[in-house]
Amino acid sequence: MEFEGKVALVTGAGSGIGRASAVALAQAGARVALLSHTADEIEEAAHEIRSAGGEAVALTADVSDESAMRQAVQQLLERFGRLDVVVANAGINGVWAPIDDLKPEEFDKTIAVNLRGTYLTLHLTVPYLKRQGGAIVIVSSINGNRTFTSPGATAYSATKAAQVAITQQLALELGRHHVRVNAVCPGEIETQIGDNTNRRHVEETKIPVEFPEGQIPVSDGKPGKAADVAELVLFLASDRARHITGTPVYIDGGQGLLR
């Protein structure tokens, strides 16, 4: 119960990596605020934690909406009175298309959720982390950092590269306040993020590469699990990682090395 007495906020916590991270934090003793733009999904995730004896509150907000996020953070503080861990996980794949086909509004949507959403999450929570110190874990990707071969993923890759830059910038800015900031960079993971991916004309930009026995060497080509990433999030948020900050950690089974 290494997180006993601590409060964690996880965005995008209704499914996938976010939900697995929220559950792991709760199992380790944290009181958890789960945030998502989908009310039914987030209530179900919070119920799972409560049913196992944990304490959780469901917050509904679009991470790109400043007003909604302010209200959600206020609800968190009213309920728990403090904040120690922030997992900035909410994100979309958005539209993957050739750059001359990718529409400005499609580009803007991905930037709004992935990048503005990360900014607003940290902008609104850091004042409370500064009070006693804490940990931030940003969920980025191998895309835009280790690999650049996902066809048409310009907007997505740009946001994921920017998240690592934010991680390193804030590690220095917040170090004096004893707030650590790290990023996890997953490769292919079994989640529902594909549901918000719109691929269009990707054959025009696809890189013709053949991978032996699948593209994930350590697992015989099989994608990782959300729980695998949650274990890394848990470690980086814990005191076991007390001397780690400003670090992107790749969790891709070697996938990025092949690309």
Q: The tokens of 39 are what?
A: 């009310």
* Domain boundaries along the sequence of the chain: 7-258
Note the pLDDT tens digit of each residue in 171-209: 999 999 999 999 999 999 986 555 556 766 677 666 666
What is the reported pTM?
A: 0.92
Residue 121 CB contacts under 8 Å (≥ 6 apart), including other chains: 9, 11, 63, 69, 86, 88, 90
Place of tokens 């890189």: 207
CATH superfamily of 7-258: NAD(P)-binding Rossmann-like Domain (3.40.50.720)
Residues 212 and 189: their CA atoms lie apart, in Å, by 19
Neighbours of 231 (CB within 10 A): 14
User: Are 73 and 125 contacting, i.e. CB atoms less than 8 angstroms apart?
Assistant: yes
* Active-site residue flag, 156: yes
| 131-180 confidence digits (pLDDT tens) | 999 999 999 999 999 999 889 999 999 999 999 999 999 999 999 999 99
Collect all residues with Cβ–Cβ distance below 8 Å to 124 and sequence separation of at least 6. Answer: 69, 70, 73
Q: Single out the catalytic residue among 119, 128, 156, 250.
A: 156
Side-chain-side CA neighbours of residue 78 (13 Å)? 8
| Identity at 9, one-letter amino acid code | L
pLDDT for res 196: 57
